[in-house]
Amino acid sequence: MVVPRRTSRDIRSDSRLDVLHAVLSAGETTRNELAQFTGLSAATVVTVVGELLAEGIIEERKVTAGRIGRPTATLGMNKARGLVVGIDVAETYVRAVMFDAALNQILAVESARDEHVLDPDSVVEGIGRTLDRLLDEAGVSREAVLGVGVALPGLIQGPQGVSVVVPHWTWQTVELEHLRERLGLPLVIENPLKSIAIAELWLGRGRNCSSLATINLGTGVGAGIVLGGRILRGATNTAGEWGHTLLVLDGRRCRCGRNGCVEAYIGAPGIQQTLREIDPTHPLVDLDMQNDFIVALAAVADGDEPDEAVAETIARTAYYLGSALADLVAVVNPEVVTLTGWTTWALGEHLLPPTRRHLLEQSPGGSALGVELDVSTVLGNSVATGVATVVLERFLVDAGLLTSNIPVAL
């Protein structure tokens, strides 16, 4: 049994991390609330807050008179500390988002990617150009940015170092060094599933529960998993690849090379395939771009004109999603499941009620009875938000302002 050992020093730095997380997730809070929320003693909170104030990581915002006349100061992150950038590299786009040091979104820019161009050089250049455009539009120099985080699909940690595994796309450590050079800023890279888990943990439902899964629905699908308040990474950082678990043995071909994966049914192209199987002549079947298809599907579903093929597509997608979520709940048994990603923003309200029903019906022994299934409250691109959060944490660690034995990124 190899368990990371905790020393008194770790406990102290855990207290700092917990207070910092609590300030971040609350937006604005007080010392009293921090003690309640973190479970730390009032004395410890006062000490830690004092240190964080002295170091300029958090700031006092305003002082209000308390109920019994004693003034109370509210605390927040020190926004002026610097900027951080999170970049979501997806199959069809690169989205770069700038945040202040309190993780408020300042500006986002997006570049389309050609889904078929996957050589390392052009991917690196696409990421670099998107960052340049973001800095340009914000009128900000690299000096004002504390660091940049890039979420790359299929990031794994193998015996040959870090590599990125998407179809036709096998990056090695050398490409990552190339990326670091091109961006010209302190860089953290992260798997998108771990990124959405971090965003949900710090800024979403993770504030009130200790175990959760957050499901990304887009071109690809996957799960970010939090257990006991910590991100589940797995031995090679591939935990959460629930999108490539079986829905149907020997079923639809999946782009990962396997047949019958969950993603082949509820990834955006999979949903289009479902419509094609129901009605091959339906006009939406011909839409070329995935995002256009999902938005159009939602528009028809929201419209006044009944469309049986679209209704049936959504019903089957909910059946597939609920069945696959029942598998995840059976293995991991979390308290909360949230949905995120661009398919969720478009179709979430249609999918949620029937998916909840299927999840409940298919979970062993009613084990999903207590599981809350909801759309995530983390707005915007939670991949970018999550990886930006890691940048902030890493900056504080590297600056010696926070020590942590919790792995925050590769």
The site for Zn ion (CB under 5 A) is made up of 244, 254, 256, 258, 261
Per-residue tokens: 55: 């170091």
Closer residue to its own copies (CB): 68 or 369: 369
Does 197 participate in binding its own copies (rule CB under 8 A)?
no
**Residue with Cβ nearer its own copies (246 or 375):** 246
> Rounded CA gap, 275 and 293, in Å?
11
Cβ nearer to its own copies, comparing 214 with 238: 238
Rank residues 124 and 223 by Cβ distance to its own copies and give the closer one: 223
Residue 160's binding partner out of its own copies, Zn ion, none, with CB under 5 to 8 Å set by partner kind: none
- 369 counts as binding its own copies under rule CB under 8 A: yes
Residue 158 interacting with its own copies (CB under 8 A): yes
Q: Where are the alpha helices (DSSP H) in 82-236?
A: 120-138, 173-183, 192-203
List the single partner that 69 binds among its own copies, Zn ion, none, CB under 5 to 8 Å by kind.
none
Nearer to its own copies, 100 or 335 (CB): 335
Least distance in Å: CB of 275 to its own copies? 18
β-strand 83-89 against 145-151: which pairing, if any?
parallel
**DSSP label at 81?**
G
Q: Is 217 in the site for its own copies (CB under 8 A)?
A: no
Whole-number Cα distances in Å, 242 to 202, 236, 262, 368: 22, 15, 7, 17
C-alpha span between 59 and 77 (Å, rounded)? 6
With CB under 5 to 8 Å by kind, the binding choice for 68 among its own copies, Zn ion, none is: none
Q: Which of residues 44-103 bind its own copies (CB under 8 A)?
A: none
Residue selected from 328, 339, 373, 387 as contacting its own copies according to rule CB under 8 A: 328
Vertex 30, ends 27 and 34: CA angle to 5°?
A: 85
| Residues 50-75 as b or e (16 or more Cβ within 10 Å = b) | eebeebebbbeeeeeeeeeeeeeebb
Tokens standing for 101?
């040091």
Determine, following the binding rule CB under 8 A, whether residue 320 of this chain makes contact with its own copies: yes
List the one residue from 122, 364, 377, 398 that touches its own copies (CB under 8 A).
364
Choose the one of its own copies, Zn ion, none that binds residue 223, judging by a C-beta under 5 to 8 angstroms depending on kind: its own copies
Q: Which structure tokens are listed for 244?
A: 């490539």
- Write out the binding residues for its own copies, residues 227-246 only, by CB under 8 A: 227-230, 232-242, 244-246
Least separation in angstroms between CB 296 and its own copies: 27
Residue 250's region, left for phi above 0, alpha for psi from -120 to 50, else beta, is: left
Q: Is residue 205 within 8 Å of 377, Cβ to Cβ?
A: yes
Q: Across-strand partners of 155?
A: 164
The yes or no reply on residue 224 touching its own copies (CB under 8 A) is no
